[in-house]
A and B are shown apart, each in its own frame.
Chain A
Amino acid sequence: MEFLTAHGADLLFYLFAALAVGGALGVVTLRSPMYGALSLLVTFLAVAVLFLLRSAEFVGIVQIFVYGGGIMVLFLFVIMLVNLHRLPDLKLFHGQSPFVLALAVALLALFGYFFSHLAFGPAFARPEAFKTVQGAAVGNSQAVAWSLFTQALLPFEIASIFLLVAMIGAVVLGRRQ
């Protein structure tokens, strides 16, 4: 029990990191896009938990809403909309996939080499930095909102224009001619 209270967050990390990687493997290996999408959902939710463990509560919840809710429903709708009855006789991977696999492994090896030679030191671990606005203790959402509407106001407005453009683009593309 003492072990759990001392290392609970770390154990949660290992559990959900394994879930995230397993879900990602499912996305690229499963034949049916429907199973792939459900596997992707597992990854999204596991990554949301990893965010929560790094005191990013707002981003974690946004991840669940936007990815687990919006984007996932969009994918499922499209999978059901397109007709995939000819799927079983098609090959899963391109001919170049062994080369791509070698490339991905080489990429991982490169990253591993790079980061085994790079020490980050201990984290500053001031979680209150994510929960304060001008010295006052508030919640994480309030701190993020304050930062969004003061430091990042222009990018925020540009993001809203971007979403409008994306929406119009998606409607025009999906329209029947």
Chain B
Amino acid sequence: MFEVTTTHYLVVSFLLFAIGIFGIAARKNMITVLMSIELVLNSVNLNLIAFSYQHSNLTGQIFAVFTITVAAGEAAVGLGILIAFFRLRESTTLDGATELKG
């Protein structure tokens, strides 16, 4: 009963996913929101690796490598946007982004 199965991995992955979604939608600080996006991407990778092992198929690992690549690009551009936003508003809270409000 101790034995770790794919379902155990799915539970961890969904916990990370739900926590990440909560962080994205509930936190005010833009840096924390970006970190929560990384959490969500990590949970997806965990799923890919777990199912790759379940089916003894290498393709899941290849997919995970690409996900990590995209996550790195996303972090770089997201933090670039954050720096530009900070220059404009002198803060990193999302409430300041009201330029498009009518």
Contact = CB atoms under 8 A, between A and B. Distances in A.
A44 B12 contact: no
Contacts of B97: none
A167 B84 CA distance: 15
Interface string B66-80: 101111111111011
Q: Which of B22, B31, B54, B84 is most buried by chain A, counting CB atoms within 10 A of its CB? A: B22
A126 B18 CA distance: 31
Contact of A56 (B23, B38, B55, B64): B64
Given A54-B9, A66-B68, A173-B83, A107 B18 contact: yes
Interface in A42-82: 43-44, 47, 50-51, 53-56, 58-59, 62-63, 66-67, 70-71, 74-75, 78-79, 81-82
Q: Which of A51, A55, A91 is most buried by chain B, counting CB atoms within 10 A of its CB? A: A51
Contact of B8 (A17, A24, A79, A87): A17
A59 B68 CA distance: 9
A41 to B, nearest CB: 10
Contacts of A108: 14-15, 18
On chain B, which size bracket covers the interface?
35 or more
Contact of A147 (B2, B62, B86, B92): B62
A84 B29 CA distance: 10
B100 interface: no
Interface of B: 2-12, 14-23, 25-29, 31-32, 34-36, 38-39, 42, 45-46, 49-50, 52-59, 61-62, 64-66, 68-77, 79-84, 86-87, 90-94
Given A82-B31, A129-B57, A173-B80, 6 more contacts: A28-B32, A54-B9, A93-B27, A101-B22, A166-B73, A174-B84
6 contacts: A36-B32, A43-B39, A43-B42, A54-B9, A67-B42, A82-B31
